């Protein structure tokens, strides 16, 4: 029924071909590599205790970091789109900084800040908190790199939310909090979820900045991407591809669930329309 709009074949055809070339074919090569040798070796690699410990760390820290970003990202996006205060424009512009800063530089800069002899690290050390070369350091770096996702996916939606709806809610006697919770928040939820999901995904694969600040101790602060690099260093392409594939499948699953929730949510909203 929606097919009355033009461009279906052109847009879908083009994007499908592009997607195939850039993403699908290379991933077919990755999958082929993972299964190229003995299955036994593959299984042994992806389930070895050290690798499993790194999954726990990578997934746990990424989840935590993306939730932190969800909360503070929402507040920041809200503040940036709704209020005016000195420095707002500067803040708005600098939100993208984690993208612009190469991850390696981010790692170096964060380490310089949070290491025991850094500006912030020295202060924290006084109260007995070590913020670098442990799991807290990993979390700090992951929050840093994931921050823009939530803000940037929320901003356009918060802006495009028609004010009429809020006015209507107010006229109908809703308090400000009710208006927010029942009207604004549900409308912004898909974007918030997208933002958190994107931040999570980005955090999961992050390598460049983490290796500087984590300490890389096996079973303690060793993230999965580091193990992939370690496998490659031993010319074990199959093992590297295998671990990569496990991460990919896990995140693909989570992603599919989130997208499913979103599609459901979108349908729900359209039905109200």
Partner 1 sequence: MKKQLLILAVALLSASGIARAVELLNVSYDPTRELYTEYNAAFARYWKSKTGQEVEVKQSHGGSGKQARAVLDGLEADVVTLALAYDIDVLAEKGLLPADWQTKFSNNSSPYTSTIVFLVRKGNPKGIKDWNDLIRPGISVITPNPKTSGGARWNYLGAWAYAEKTFGKDEAKTKEFIGKLFKNVPVLDSGARGSTTTFVQRGIGDVLIAWENEAYLSLKEFGADKFEIVTPSLSILAEPPVAVVDSVAGRHGTRPVAKAYLAHLYSEEGQEIAGKNFYRPSDPKAAAKFASQFGKVTLVTIDEAFGGWKQAQSKHFADGGIFDQIYTPASK
Partner 2 sequence: MAGAIQDLTTLRNATRPRRATEEGPLVRWALILVSVAFFTAFLLLPLVAVFAEGLRRGAALYLQTFTDPVTLDAIRLTLITAAIAVPCNTVFGVAAAWAITRFEFRGKQFFSTLIDLPLWVSPVIGGLIYVLLFGSQGVLGPWLQAHHWRIIYSTPGIVIATVFVTFPFVARGLIPLMQAQGVAEEEAALTLGARGWQLFLRVTLPKIKWGLLYGVILANARAMGEFGAVSVVSGHIRGLTNTVPLQIEILYNEYAFAAAFALASLLSLLALVTLGVKSYVEWRARQQLEESQS
The partner in contact with residue 136, picked from partner 1, partner 2, none with C-beta cut-offs of 5 to 8 angstroms by kind, is none
**235 forms part of the interface with partner 2 (CB under 8 A):** no
> In 3-state terms, what secondary structure has residue 28?
helix
* 226 near partner 1, rule: CB under 8 A: yes
Q: Is residue 255 part of the contact set for partner 2 (CB under 8 A)? A: yes
Residues 179-218 that bind partner 1 (CB under 8 A): 211-212, 215-218
Residue from 40, 83, 128, 233 touching partner 2 (CB under 8 A): that is 83
- As to burial, measured by CB atoms within 10 angstroms (0-12 exposed, 13-18 middle, 19+ buried), residue 25 is exposed
Specify the residue for token string 């807290």.
Answer: 136
Position 116 contacts partner 2 (CB under 8 A)? no
Interface residue with partner 1 among 14, 18, 185, 219 (CB under 8 A) is 219
Alpha helices in the chain (DSSP H): 8-19, 25-34, 39-47, 49-82, 88-94, 97-100, 103-114, 119-126, 135-160, 163-171, 176-178, 185-205, 210-213, 224-233, 237-272
Name the nearest CA neighbour of 63 among 138, 148, 151: 138
Q: Applying CB under 8 A, does 126 fall inside the site for partner 2?
A: no
* Interacting positions 182-211 with partner 2 (CB under 8 A): 187, 190-191, 194, 197-198, 201-202, 204-208
Tokens of residue 145, six digits: 């790199």
Interior/surface letters 60-80, b for 16+ CB within 10 angstroms, e for the rest? ebbbbbbebbbeebbebbbeb
Q: Which is nearer to partner 1, 62 or 111 (CB)?
A: 111
Told to check if 142 binds partner 2 by CB under 8 A, we report: no
Q: Residue 53 or residue 124: which is nearer to partner 2 going by CB?
A: 124
Q: Which is nearer to partner 2, 67 or 161 (by Cβ)?
A: 161
- In the complex, the smallest distance separating the C-beta of residue 86 from partner 2, rounded to whole angstroms, is 10
Q: How far is the CB of 221 from partner 1 (least distance, A)?
A: 9
| CB-CB neighbours of 214 under 10 Å | 26
Binding mask 76-115 for partner 1 (x = CB under 8 A): -----------------------------------xx--x
What is the rounded radius of gyration, in angstroms, for the C-alpha atoms of the chain? 22
**Rounded-to-integer distance, Cα 9 and Cα 15, Å:** 10
Indicate whether 123 belongs to the interface with partner 2 (CB under 8 A). Answer: no
Nearer to partner 2, 10 or 127 (CB): 10
- C-beta separation of 130 from 55 below 8 A: no
């Amino acid at each position: 029924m929606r097919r009355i709009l033009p461009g279906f074949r052109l847009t879908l055809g083009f994007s499908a071909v592009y997607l195939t070339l850039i993403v699908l074919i290379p991933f077919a090569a990755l999958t082929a590599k993972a299964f190229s040798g003995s299955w036994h070796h593959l299984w042994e690699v992806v389930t070895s205790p050290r690798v499993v410990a790194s999954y726990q760390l990578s997934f746990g820290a990424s989840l935590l970091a993306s939730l932190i970003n969800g909360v503070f990202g929402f507040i920041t996006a809200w503040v940036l789109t709704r209020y005016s205060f000195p420095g707002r424009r500067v803040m708005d512009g600098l939100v993208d900084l984690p993208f612009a800063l190469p991850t390696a530089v981010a790692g170096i800069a964060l380490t310089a800040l949070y290491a025991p002899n850094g500006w912030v690290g020295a202060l924290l050390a006084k109260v007995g908190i070590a913020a670098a070369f442990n799991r807290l350091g990993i979390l700090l770096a992951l929050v840093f790199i994931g921050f823009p996702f939530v803000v940037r996916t929320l901003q356009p939606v918060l802006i495009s939310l028609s004010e009429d709806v809020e006015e209507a809610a107010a006229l109908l006697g809703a308090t400000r909090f009710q208006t927010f919770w029942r009207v604004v928040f549900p409308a912004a939820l898909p974007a918030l979820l997208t933002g958190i999901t994107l931040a999570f995904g980005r955090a999961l694969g992050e390598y460049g900045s983490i290796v500087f600040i984590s300490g890389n101790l096996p079973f303690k602060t060793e993230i999965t991407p580091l193990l992939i690099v370690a496998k490659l260093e031993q010319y074990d392409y199959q093992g590297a591809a295998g671990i990569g594939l496990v991460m990919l499948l896990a995140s693909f699953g989570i992603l599919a669930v989130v997208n499913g929730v979103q599609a459901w949510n979108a349908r729900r909203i359209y039905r109200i329309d």
